[in-house]
Structure 1
Amino acid sequence: MNYRLTLAHINDTHSHFDASLVRLKIQLNQTQFSLASHSGGYPRIAAQVQQLREQAAQQQQEMLFLHGGDSFHGTLFYSQFKGQANARVLDYLSPDAMVIGNHDIDDGNATLANFIAKVSFPVMAANMDLSAEAADKVGALAPLPNLLKFDNAQGIGQYLLKPFYNTQLAIIGVTLDQMKRVARPDADTEFLPAFETVANTIKHLKQQGVHHIIVLSHLGYEMDKHLAAEVDGISVIVGGHTHTLMGDFTEFGLPCVPYGETVNGVPVLQAGKHAEALGIAELEFDALGKVTQLSGSSCLMLDRHFLLSGDTAATEQDYRDATELLHQHPGILWDEQDEQLKAIIDHEFRPAVSSMEQQVLAMVPRTLAHTRLPSQRLPHGSEIAPLVSQSMFLAAREQLPSLHFALHNAGGVRQSLEQGQVTLGDIMGRLLPFDLPLVCYEIQGVHLKQVLESAINEATNNSVMGTGAGSFPYTHRLRYFYDGRQPMGERIVKLELLKDDGCWYEIVTEEYYVGVSTSYTTSGKEGYDALLNAEWQQSLEHVTLPGAFIRMLSHDDILLEPAMPTVNYISHRNS
């Protein structure tokens, strides 16, 4: 018997209810154009998923729609409604299951619990141990019936069983076991080893005669591949966390990897970020749950009317040729949308955010790119993160004149800052959506070196298994030189401080320096453990991360242009 499944999936949507601006490169008759369009958004996803459901029903074929985690944060729709708008919109989409991502628990258990209580679909984290959580506390997760967590009595993760032709299909949702290092769950919430939880749960399922097993993962692309290699019995992994776009989009200039890359016979799927793309896979399994056929792609959902720009003006024929090229690509869908869902967003949630979207704070003379890690195109890394660090420094120095430097993690900045007008909504909703307090501290030079090396090691998986590239450090008035080829403990080969006289001075190991970071990094998250060696820490009153940047934008003498590089990085992979 053939076991066929249509599988639609999204991940890391980060409250992007609306379509997002995307830029593609298009080659037409030896002329290269930049194509600007909008892609995705929940109303477009809803229309495509409904169409897939209808097609599957007509063909008497099973269909699933899954969310790979990180629904929260990212736009004003979250900043204003703290997950309640996400619950309303996602419940309309009606996924078969969603796994908990790190940003879904960034504001603690209660915010996540309020979300889960309002949705009708299962929310999963098979390795989340809530045995120590008090059931009567406000915002408890454990009592929620649609939360599938770790089952302490059986020693396995709770799973979802779905009828699947003449048998059953199981879905296991698993999230980061390093959650406490990257997010802010309540102290009574533990996360168990993900691989071990999946392996034990699969063993149990196999004993029950269940062989078709989907792992819904928020571990990230590389970890998903390791999971596929190390744990037998998985049919397919549907992932998230690393914003990995799968499909063949190289001709459009988009970074991507092949769709459904197979490891140990297990396809690994992911669909980019920000609801820009919908993954659509057609799968066929054998009776033992092994995938025998897979076709599909992540699919962009583009405006039918787009903008072409280049060295020469685009003609009508260029637009026709571009449209034909897009129509022929298997990863391009169009802008059909669910009007009812659009009306819900427009009427119930948009009025509260529209005034912030319209409040212009500044003009950006050119796009300031954000990348978490340095690259060949951006050898000193992000252009916007150092400016965010500068804003932290300026805001903190008003209260603490002895301040020496600012230090911020790359993951605290969420995207590039596009050329043109910058609104309050751009900052609060998209660029800096985490409303984190600023914390000053005094730290010895030796520990400051440790912080920087540890954060970079974590970001690049250099001799350690890191938590993702978000830990990479960006600074203001602190200039470091990192050589990843050196032994651990010796990779910061030079560290300098810019003083008020305009000169750079070597950091002295025994001396003490005063810095400012967010409450996230000063709590030792993501490789910033050495900040816990500070002599003291002091939260600043009435200053948050986005607030500091907004305040800097109001200064007439501040130029929104790339700062003098403070990141000098040599990768261990270049050797």
Structure 2
Amino acid sequence: MQKLTLIQQNDTHGCLEMHDELYWHANGPVLKKAGGFARIANYVKEVKRENDNVLFFDGGDLFHGTLPLMSSKGEAILPLLEQMELDGFIPGNWDFAYGKEQLKHLVGHLPFPALACNVLDEDTGEPLLHPYLIKEMQGVTAGIIGLSYPYVDITMPGSFSEGLQFSRGVEEVRDIVNDMKGEVDVVILVSHMGLPLDAKLATLVSGIDVVLSGHSHDRVTKPIITGETLIVQAGSSSSFLGHLDITMDNGKVTDADYRLVDMNETIREDGKMKEIVQTAMEPYRMERETIAGDTNSILHRMTLNEAPMDRFLTDAYRHAFECDLAFSHGWRYGSPKSHGALSLEDLYSIIPTNPEMFTLEMDGHTLWQTLENNLEQVFSDDPFQQKGGYILRSSGLLMTFKPYNPKGYRIQTMQIGRQDLDLHKIYKLAGGGKQLFKTKEAQKTYNGTHAIDVLRSFLKEKGPYETGQMGNIISV
């Protein structure tokens, strides 16, 4: 029998330090301190010191998500990664934010391999990164396949995918698994497709023993079993690690013990990593010390239909542009913010891209169809058609829908400003950036104002923010 330990982090999104994290309790959401690379580094170091066969992987969205990473195009995290004892990295959709050449530059400075079998470089026709890795350890040979997010060219701004081709990777993974037969003891897929897509892929490709899933920010506490494949995922924001101990015999996993490890304050920090993190954060002291305003509500993105953090965004947008509706993308990233002071650094973690604001005119019929398409991307009965994050966030909209209805028939009712939607009326919308309403780019009017400035002005003019009553987007 052979034993192997797999440790996973995914969707850290630039959360380098301990921060507020949201936990669901009987009386509702509760914030507690968790996370940070110093805790992760210490945990992994101790596990590797005490055990022989240990592999530690990052499942993507590593180079993006907070001000230090955005302003440095990902380079601020490189000194941390040199000390993290990672064995591999798979790029997520946000890791392509700075373009192909910058991603190649970043991974060229990593002391561990970057893997992706489903991303081609259009200039060469070859994979952008190594498709897989074979790792020889004490009595165990592991095959590790990397699978990046397949819809970067569809769901993200055009600059993310320029010069690249993406696929779902089903055939690529199947071919690699077949090639590995007889050569490895265990096949591990490290994926940034998202939990529903990974579960479907496991039904289409036999021979995968473990999927370390990413992208959908799921806190998996018990492995999902699809056929003979174990699927796990470890939350987000550096707040959790997945720890999987497996036993193998004759090329089969015979036993597995998994736990989702909360990186809370009981986990000791690695002193050297803590110093490196402090050095990385030091250039942004001004943003940390500058108070932009206050919130009387907990701001988070932990709910599917609508969320307080995004209501804050869209309320500010709607106030700034005096429009009928305001929208924001259904992002998952961004650590929660407790009630109290909001620093400029907090605003950048809420919307790190700081997009340029736009207004857009849209008739009621087009708006209805646009929101139906969004619901399909979230709730499609085919996981491979689930291409969104959460439901588009909004202010000024009241909508009821049936998530289980067929494509194009989910919305039941819709009101704008408390009046029934008029399919022929032209409505004025506000939003930010090129990801939101991507197919309507030619109709957008950008005005040179950026989201952070809008948020700061909103807090200054309106005082402490309160979300008010949630429940405008209702599943019925």
* TM-score, L = length of structure 2: 0.90
Q: Note if contact 1:182-1:467 (Cα within 8 Å) is conserved in structure 2.
A: no
CA distance in 1, matches of 2:22, 2:423: 46
1:140-168 deviation per Cα after TM superposition (whole angstroms, max 9, x unaligned):
xx798xx31xxxxxxxxx21111144563
Match of 2:292 in 1: 361
Cα 1:384–1:342 shift into 2, 3 Å: closer
SS of the equivalent of 2:367 reads helix
- Structure-to-structure mapping, 1:98-137, within 5 angstroms: 98-130=89-121, 132-133=122-123
CA distance in 2, matches of 1:546, 1:459: 27
Structure 1 residue 233: Cα displacement: 0.9
CA distance in 1, matches of 2:25, 2:406: 44
Match of 1:298 in 2: 260
The answer to whether the aligner puts 1:511 opposite 2:425 as a matched pair is: yes
Q: Note if contact 1:477-1:497 (Cα within 8 Å) is conserved in structure 2.
A: yes
- Structure-to-structure mapping, 1:67-78, within 5 angstroms: 67-78=58-69
Match of 2:278 in 1: 346
Amino acid at match of 1:213: V
Match of 1:491 in 2: 410
Cα 1:282–1:514 shift into 2, 3 Å: same
CA distance in 1, matches of 2:32, 2:90: 30
CA distance in 1, matches of 2:300, 2:53: 42
- Structure-to-structure mapping, 1:521-536, within 5 angstroms: 521-522=435-436, 524=438, 529=439, 531=440, 536=443
SS of the equivalent of 1:227 reads helix
- Structure-to-structure mapping, 1:208-287, within 5 angstroms: 209-247=183-221, 258=222, 260-287=223-250
The answer to whether the aligner puts 1:49 opposite 2:44 as a matched pair is: yes
Match of 2:175 in 1: 200
CA distance in 1, matches of 2:118, 2:155: 16
Gaps of 5+ in 1: 136-141, 149-157, 248-257, 304-333, 375-380, 398-402, 499-503
1:491-515 deviation per Cα after TM superposition (whole angstroms, max 9, x unaligned):
33333333xxxxx433322332332
Gaps of 5+ in 2: none
Q: Note if contact 1:453-1:482 (Cα within 8 Å) is conserved in structure 2.
A: no
Cα 1:508–1:15 shift into 2, 3 Å: same
The answer to whether the aligner puts 1:370 opposite 2:333 as a matched pair is: no
Amino acid at match of 1:209: E
1:274-319 deviation per Cα after TM superposition (whole angstroms, max 9, x unaligned):
111222222111232x21111131212332xxxxxxxxxxxxxxxx
Q: Note if contact 2:314-2:394 (Cα within 8 Å) is conserved in structure 1.
A: yes
Cα 1:15–1:163 shift into 2, 3 Å: same
* TM-score, L = length of structure 1: 0.76
Moved more, 365-374 or 182-191: 365-374
CA distance in 2, matches of 1:362, 1:13: 26
Q: 2:465 is matched with which residue: 535, 557, 560?
A: 560
CA distance in 2, matches of 1:463, 1:35: 34
CA distance in 1, matches of 2:97, 2:210: 28
CA RMSD of aligned residues (A): 2.8
The answer to whether the aligner puts 1:452 opposite 2:359 as a matched pair is: no
The answer to whether the aligner puts 1:88 opposite 2:87 as a matched pair is: no
Match of 1:546 in 2: 452
CA distance in 2, matches of 1:178, 1:293: 34
Q: Note if contact 2:197-2:383 (Cα within 8 Å) is conserved in structure 1.
A: no
Cα 1:83–1:293 shift into 2, 3 Å: same
Amino acid at match of 1:342: K
- Structure-to-structure mapping, 1:26-41, within 5 angstroms: 37-41=32-36
Cα 1:193–1:235 shift into 2, 3 Å: same
Amino acid at match of 1:133: D
CA distance in 1, matches of 2:19, 2:354: 22
SS of the equivalent of 1:124 reads coil
Amino acid at match of 1:479: L
Amino acid at match of 1:267: L
Match of 1:168 in 2: 141
Amino acid at match of 2:259: S
CA distance in 2, matches of 1:388, 1:26: 26
Structure 1 residue 177: Cα displacement: 1.6
Q: Note if contact 1:476-1:566 (Cα within 8 Å) is conserved in structure 2.
A: no
SS of the equivalent of 2:208 reads coil
CA distance in 2, matches of 1:38, 1:191: 37
Match of 1:20 in 2: 19
Q: Aligned residues: percent identity?
A: 22
Match of 1:477 in 2: 396
Q: 1:386 is matched with which residue: 302, 311, 319?
A: 311
